Amino acid sequence: MFELYFGEMSRWNDGLILTAVMSTLSVVIGFFVALPIALARSKSKGILGFLALGYVNIFRGVPLLVLMFLIYYGSGQFSRELRGLGLWWFFRDAYYCGLLALVLNTAAYQAEIIRGSLDTISASVLETNAALNLTPWTSFRRVLLPIAFAKALPPLGNEYILMVKATSLLAIITVFDLMGQARMIFSETFDLRVYYIAAAHYLVLVLLIEWALRRFEARIKWMA
């Protein structure tokens, strides 16, 4: 067991870093993609709300595995056209393709989480903002968003942890995260204990994230 870890230390570290970086980046970028979608879902009854609903339905409905495959190998089929459009540098890179798939997926889930918490803010808060003569933008930025964020933090943390585990799908598009490295070591050693080591890595990573989230939650709890 120890030689499987220490003998392959650099691979395990590479995998751990990649998993941590890809999941964090996708959750953070996904959050900013999700904000306008959540707002449209919550406030707009017109075309914007309809488009936001369409986005959520599509990207929650398409499995992440399928999405990744479509973006990576699908774009490969159109490499000539993408070169013409000057977009090939992006789609050529498996890391960018993987990140794009993760962001599109998590943004759909996060948008629904944020919409939910926006909707729970009571009407009296809006009336107070109006009484104080705040513009809609200031009201959103300084009052509604912080409250919604504080309320949404526990489910957003949940989404973060789910994304840590979803990154294991990256191995199908040649990006070797923790699970990809584990599979590679396994294919050389045929030793099933490799997966115990992988599981331990995920567990430590998730516990660390949970610990950080708990501290963060305690700090902004008063807003929720």
Q: Which two tokens stand for residue 102?
A: 């993760």
Q: Are the C-beta atoms of residues 67 and 105 closer than 8 Å to each other?
A: yes
> Which residue in the block uniquely carries the two structure tokens 């306008």?
36
Contacts of 209 (CB under 8 A, 6+ apart): 157, 160, 161, 164
Q: Classify the phi-psi angles of 80: left when phi > 0, otherwise alpha if psi is within -120 to 50, otherwise beta.
A: alpha
Q: Is 192 in the site for other proteins (CB under 8 A)?
A: yes
The CA distance from 200 to 187, in Å, is 19
What percent helix, strand, coil does the chain show, rounded to 5? 90, 0, 10
Q: Is 162 in the site for other proteins (CB under 8 A)?
A: no
Within 75-202, strands assigned E span: none
Listed ranges 38-46, 101-109, 126-134, 187-195: which one lies at the site for other proteins (CB under 8 A): 187-195
**The binder of other proteins chosen from 7, 54, 63, 76 (CB under 8 A):** 76
Smallest separation, CB 67 to other proteins (Å): 16
Listed ranges 112-120, 137-145, 170-178, 196-204: which one lies at the site for other proteins (CB under 8 A): 170-178
Listed ranges 6-14, 49-57, 132-140, 176-184: which one lies at the site for other proteins (CB under 8 A): 176-184
Smallest separation, CB 97 to other proteins (Å): 10
Nearer to other proteins, 44 or 196 (CB): 196
Nearer to other proteins, 81 or 119 (CB): 81
Q: Is 124 in the site for other proteins (CB under 8 A)?
A: no
Helix (H, G, I), strand (E, B), or coil: what is residue 197?
A: helix
Q: Please state, as a whole number, how many other Cβ atoms lie within 10 Å of the Cβ of residue 197.
A: 19
Q: Is 138 in the site for other proteins (CB under 8 A)?
A: no
Q: Is 174 in the site for other proteins (CB under 8 A)?
A: yes
Q: Is 184 in the site for other proteins (CB under 8 A)?
A: yes
Q: Give just the sign of the alpha carbon dihedral 65, 68, 70, 76.
A: negative
Q: Is 94 in the site for other proteins (CB under 8 A)?
A: yes
Nearer to other proteins, 28 or 65 (CB): 65
Q: Which residues are at the interface with other proteins (CB under 8 A)?
A: 73, 75-77, 79, 92, 94, 171-172, 174, 176, 183-184, 186-188, 190, 192
